[in-house]
Amino acid sequence: MKKSKASKKAVVLVSGGLDSATCLAIAQQHGYECYAVSFDYGQRSASELLAARKVVEAAGVREHKVIALEMGQLGGSALTDVDITMPEAIAVAGGIPITYVPARNTVFLSYALAWAEVLNTSHIFLGINAMDYSGYPDCRPEYIQSFETMANLATKAGVEGNQFITIHTPLISMTKGDIIKKGLSLGVDYSLTHSCYDPDKEGMACGRCDACRLRQKGFREAGITDPINYSVLP
C-alpha cells in the first residue's frame, strides 16, 4: 500500500477482508498513523485473522492488537455457532441473515473507542458498507451516527470537550466495485485478504456463501480478476 507521512493517530478496525484493507489504506492516505485492531471473537475459521495479520504487516501500521473475545459462547450466528448450518447466498435478496453476529460492531467499536482514549486520539476508522453488504443492522449510517453520539457522551475526552470522537466510514456509500478500484489505486494487495464465511481446512474460499458472491460481484464490476482462489467459482 502507498503510505503518507503521518502526523495524527487513528484506530482502524481490520478484519482481514477487502473492505477493511481498503479502509486502512484510505486512513493512511489521509495522513493518519494507524493503530490496527482485530478480534478473535469465536469465529469458526481462523482464516480472516491470518489475513488481517498479513494486511497490517503489508501496510506497516504503528501497532496491531488482536483482542480475544468469547462471543461464540453466546451463539446466535452461523459465523460463531457450529450447530448452525452455514447458508449459501441468502442475504443478497434482502433480510438479516443468520451470519449476523448479534451486537458485533457495537462490541468491536467499544474496544476501538477504549483504545482511542488510551492513545489520546479521536479518530476511529471502520470499513463498513451500506450499498453492497449483507443486510446487517450495524452497518447502517444511522447506527454509526448514534454510536458516535454515544461515544461523545460516554468518554472522558467527550465529556471534557477536549476532542470530538469521530467514527470515519469512508466506504459506507460506495459499491463493492468502487471500493476495489479505490483500494487498487492505493496499492492494496487483495490477494492478502479473506472474505469467505466458510473456507475449507486449507483456508480456500468456498465460492458459495454470501460473502464470496458479494466479493466476486465487486471484482466483476471493477473489471478486475479476483486474485484469490475458490473451491467453486461463484
Backbone angles phi, psi at 85, to 5 degrees: -65, 130
Between CA 80 and CA 71 the distance in angstroms is: 7
Query: What would the grid cell of residue 131 be?
Result: 450499498
Which pLDDT does position 10 carry in this prediction?
A: 98
Which pLDDT does position 151 carry in this prediction?
A: 95
Identify the band that residue 2 occupies on the pLDDT scale cut at 50, 70 and 90. Answer: very low
Residue 84 has pLDDT above 90, yes or no: no
Identify the band that residue 83 occupies on the pLDDT scale cut at 50, 70 and 90. Answer: confident
Query: Cα 22–130–214 angle (5° rounding)?
Result: 65
Which pLDDT does position 6 carry in this prediction?
A: 45
Identify the residue with better confidence: 188 or 198.
188
Query: What would the grid cell of residue 80 be?
Result: 460463531
Between CA 167 and CA 23 the distance in angstroms is: 12
- Strand duo 63-68 + 32-40: pairing: parallel
Query: What would the grid cell of residue 19 be?
Result: 473492505
Which pLDDT does position 234 carry in this prediction?
A: 61
Which pLDDT does position 3 carry in this prediction?
A: 46
Which pLDDT does position 193 carry in this prediction?
A: 98
Say which range, 91-95, 97-101, 162-166, 211-215, has the weakest mean pLDDT.
91-95
Give 110-167 pLDDT, tens digit per residue.
999 999 999 999 999 999 998 766 678 899 999 999 999 999 999 988 888 878 999 9
> Which distant-in-sequence residues (6+ apart) come within 8 Å of 188 by Cβ?
1, 18, 21, 22, 25
pTM of the model: 0.92
Report the CATH architecture of 8-222.
3-Layer(aba) Sandwich (3.40)
DSSP 167-230: EE-TTTT--HHHHHHHHHHTT--GGG----SS--TT--B-S-SHHHHHHHHHHHHHT---SS-B
Identify the band that residue 94 occupies on the pLDDT scale cut at 50, 70 and 90. Answer: low
Query: What would the grid cell of residue 30 be?
Result: 489521509
Identify the residue with better confidence: 4 or 70.
70
Residue 4 has pLDDT above 50, yes or no: no
Give 159-197 pLDDT, tens digit per residue.
888 789 999 999 999 999 999 999 999 999 999 999 999
In Å, the largest CA–CA distance within the chain is 54
Between CA 233 and CA 222 the distance in angstroms is: 17
| pLDDT over 70, % of the chain | 93
